[in-house]
Structures are given as C-alpha cells and as structure tokens.
C-alpha cells in the first residue's frame, strides 16, 4: 500500500536517527521533488552519515536550503561537506547564516569556533570563544578550548588565567584531572607553590586514583595520603587472567571512521587470541552516530522529564532527554519514565532503561566527549554485535564494544562470536581506558596462562 506523502515526511522526520533505513526508504519513495526543506535536510544528513555519499549530501543540502523551513540539518550537512573539502570560507558562511536564522540556539558559537580552528584561523576562533565565556551554557566549553590553545602556543599567563577559570568550575564533567595538573604545573612554574598545593588537594578529592596528580603531590609536597575513597578498586590482572594494554589513538570521528583507526592503532600490537575492547562512544562517533546540540531542540516532554533525572547523567539535560526520545521514541520514553518512578518508590534502580531500551542507556551527553565533540550528543553504536563481528574478521582478533566508566563498571554492548562478555566486563570493571582525555579508547585484552611455576604469562592462544 502506498504511503501518503504528508505521512511519509512526518514519519521520516521522527525516525531518521533510530531507523535511518526506514527514513531513507520513506523519503526516496516520495521523490525529492515532494520534500520540503526540513525533509530534504534529513535526507542530506543521512546521505552523509549513513551512506557516506558526500556528493549526494552536498546536492541535497543545497536544495534544502533553497526550499526553506527548518534547515538545521541541511546547514550542518553542507558545512561539514565543505569543511572536509577545505572550502573554509563557504563553510563558515553557511554556519553564520544558520546562526543568524536561529539566534536562540547558542551552540552555533562553539560550532563556528571549531570551524575556525579547522581552518587554521586561531585568533578569530579565540576571539569568538572569549565572547562565548559570557554565556552560561557555553562557558565551560569555551574555557576548555581557550586554556588548551594558550598552553599549546606557550602563552603561560593566558593559559594560567583560563585554566584557573576552568578549574574554578569543578567539580564538573568537562573539567578533567589533566586540567588540574596543568594548572598546578603553571602555578609551580610561577613560584606559587601554595596555590599549586591547593589545586592538587582539590583535585585529589575528585580524582583519588589519578597517577599524574598523585605523582605531583608526592614529588612536590611529599603528600601521599588519599583525600577521598575511590568508587571502584583496581582490577588484578592475575585474578581476571588478562593483561590489559590501553592503546592511544587519534581522535575517532565521523570523518576518520572507526575501522581504519582501530587497524592502524593496533598494528604491531595485536595478536591472534587477543580481544580488542573498543569504547562504545568512540565506536558510535566513528559511525557518525553523533549529533551537534544545535540539531537537538528539546520539546516540552523532554524538558519536563529531564527535571526528574537529577543533576548528573546523560539525560539530566533537556537536550539529553530529547536525544532519548529521538532514539527510543516517545512511547517507550514515557513508559520508561513511569517504570522508573515506580522503581524509585520500591527501591529498584534502572527500570527506566529496561523499558526505554539499550539505545537510551547508551546515550552520552556533552560531559562524555572531548572537544570538538563536547557539544554533541553521542548515541550508542548502530548494531554493535554486527560491528564487532565485522571488525573481528578484519583484525583476526576478538572484538568487544564496551560501555565502561569509573562509577558503574563495564557493560559489553556487542561482541564478536567466541568472546566471553563476562570476562571482558570483569577485566574492564575499573575502566583502564580512562574516562576523560586519555585518548585510549581501545584496550587490548591478552589472556594469561599459568607457567609450570604457577606464574602468569601472556598467552598467544585464543580464549573461547
């Protein structure tokens, strides 16, 4: 039975994130002449992020902008294509036009600054970011960039100023242990030992296990006592029977893709029998399952439900909750909210996610990503078991896609055949990849075998 064009347009706009194949079929079934600017913008975004068709995305985005309406997706698509082609001036013009049309969306300021940095126009980017520090929603994102930019060019007075303002926001998910350490080192270089001591003590209360902070406290001030309890103790590699090898990589993005980065980064390290554990958020970013906040406009339902989440977690913001609605649908999110409320009354946790589904559970908001992804919502990877299986064939190793953090441990969201998910979760329960800017989204797990003397040694054999 034919689908009526108005319904097809409406439905495609609802499901493009959680069911892109369905959205593409609906839109292509109508013919692009029947699409308004918003629907054609959806089609352009899917051409770029799902089909990896830059040419088709470029054409559809340009036509969508001519047709008008809500063209945020069209603007984002066209700007991204132009940035990839290094047509920086036109990309910036597209973003500025979008900001002019939608002055109530502040996130374009950060997107523009990142585009200026892409273009190598650092001074313009810094001027834009300094203005953004005055906006309460943008301040931490702007300070994050300004502090690092000043440090990279060795402008130590400016770096100290920006780091002091950034660290002053702590505890905050965008203020990392490395930010505290960088500030302490700048203070020490200025001869301000007391300020450095206070910086390190404050950081030790938030990051009791961080080795860089512990080393600075011990070496500079002879302080070794912990100032806080760790949420989770360290994992014994001997007990779980694996050697854990964190692997530093380049930034995994929609442009880089996932498989090429994993293959390059593990070349020379991986062996048959290893299991390569990949963070679910970097995996999702490599699949382009990442959406800038200017494209996520929270509706009344999201704003209402987010009030009941608390002050932390990916769904505590209206935009994060809107992301859950985009991923799971309104019915499942409302049902999950009801289940969660009932669960709270009887002391049971996690009922929201049981009903709303694993897609909602895998959402990460701005706190979970490095710049330039820190003003995006990162959705869970698409078909994680299939993704892991494909990578395993390519790499000749087991592969697991893992959602891990220092608070709740590890959860294997998808794995190739033969991988023992419980073993992987036990091995990664203290999150050796780190939760901040370590840039180690891959951990190679190498099973240990016992020698005749009973000592563990790395095994080249497979674990099945």
Round to whole Å and give the CA distance between 443 and 423.
14
Task: Write down the pTM of the prediction.
Answer: 0.90
Cα–Cα nearest to 328, from 315, 346, 345? 315
Phi, psi of 459 (to 5 degrees): -105, 140
Location of structure tokens 């996610």: 353
What is the tally of helices (H) and strands (E) in the chain?
23, 8
Closest to 436 (Cα-Cα) out of 230, 228, 202, 175: 175
Fold match, 5-103 / 139-221:
yes
Distance (Å, whole) CA 62 – CA 84: 16
Q: What is the pLDDT of residues 67-104, one digit of tens each?
A: 999 999 999 999 999 999 999 999 999 999 999 999 99
Q: DSSP letter at 416? A: -
Is 3.40.720.10 the CATH classification of the domain at 139-221? no
* Domain segments of the chain as ranges: 5-103, 139-221, 237-288+380-458, 290-378
Q: Which CATH class name applies to 5-103?
A: mainly alpha
Tell whether domain 237-288+380-458 is in CATH 3.30.1330.100.
yes
Q: Which residues of the chain have pLDDT under 70?
A: 1-4, 310-313, 365-368, 450-464
* Tokens encoding 36: 């308004």
**Amino acid 437: pLDDT:** 87
- Please give the DSSP secondary-structure letter assigned to residue 293: G
For the stretch 156-175, pLDDT in tens is: 999 999 999 999 998 877 89
């Amino acid at each position: 039975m034919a689908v009526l064009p108005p319904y097809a347009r409406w439905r495609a706009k609802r499901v493009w994130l959680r069911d892109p194949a369905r959205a593409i079929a609906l839109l292509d079934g109508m013919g692009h002449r029947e699409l308004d600017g918003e629907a054609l913008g959806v089609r352009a975004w899917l051409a770029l992020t799902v089909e990896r068709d830059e040419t088709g995305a470029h054409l559809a985005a340009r036509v969508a902008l001519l047709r008008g309406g809500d063209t945020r997706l069209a603007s984002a698509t066209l700007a991204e294509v132009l940035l990839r082609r290094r047509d920086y001036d036109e990309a910036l013009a597209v973003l500025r036009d979008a900001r002019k049309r939608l002055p109530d969306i502040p996130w374009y300021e950060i997107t523009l600054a990142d585009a200026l940095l892409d273009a190598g126009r650092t001074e313009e980017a810094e001027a834009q970011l300094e203005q953004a520090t005055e906006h309460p929603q943008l301040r931490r994102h702007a300070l994050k960039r300004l502090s690092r930019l000043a440090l990279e060019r060795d402008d130590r007075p400016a770096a100290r100023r920006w780091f002091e303002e950034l660290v002053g926001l702590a505890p905050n998910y965008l203020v990392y242990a490395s930010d505290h350490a960088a500030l302490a080192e700048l203070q020490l270089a200025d001869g301000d030992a007391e300020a450095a001591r206070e910086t390190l003590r404050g950081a030790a209360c938030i990051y009791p296990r961080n080795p860089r902070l512990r080393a600075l406290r011990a070496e500079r001030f002879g302080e070794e006592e912990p100032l806080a309890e760790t949420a989770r103790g360290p994992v014994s590699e001997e007990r779980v029977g694996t050697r854990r090898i964190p692997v530093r990589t380049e930034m995994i993005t929609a442009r880089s893709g996932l498989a090429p980065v994993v293959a390059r980064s593990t070349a020379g390290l991986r062996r048959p029998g290893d299991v390569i554990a990949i963070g679910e958020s970097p995996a999702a970013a490599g699949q382009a399952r990442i959406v800038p906040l200017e494209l996520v406009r929270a509706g009344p339902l999201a704003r209402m439900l987010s009030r009941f989440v608390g002050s932390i977690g990916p769904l505590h913001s209206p935009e994060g909750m809107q992301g859950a609605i985009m991923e799971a649908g309104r019915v499942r999110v409302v049902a999950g909210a009801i289940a969660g409320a009932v669960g709270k009354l009887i002391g049971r946790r996690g009922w929201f996610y049981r009903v709303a589904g694993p897609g909602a559970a895998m959402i990460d908001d701005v706190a979970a990503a490095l710049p330039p992804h820190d003003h995006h919502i990162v959705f869970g990877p698409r078909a994680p078991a299939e993704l892991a299986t494909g990578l395993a064939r390519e790499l000749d190793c087991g592969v697991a896609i893992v959602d891990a953090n220092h608070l709740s441990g590890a959860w294997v969201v998808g794995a190739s055949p033969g991988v023992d998910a419980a073993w992987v979760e036990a091995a990664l329960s203290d999150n050796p990849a780190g939760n901040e800017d370590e840039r180690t989204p891959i951990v190679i797990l190498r099973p240990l075998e016992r020698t005749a003397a009973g000592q563990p040694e790395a095994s080249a054999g497979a674990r099945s």
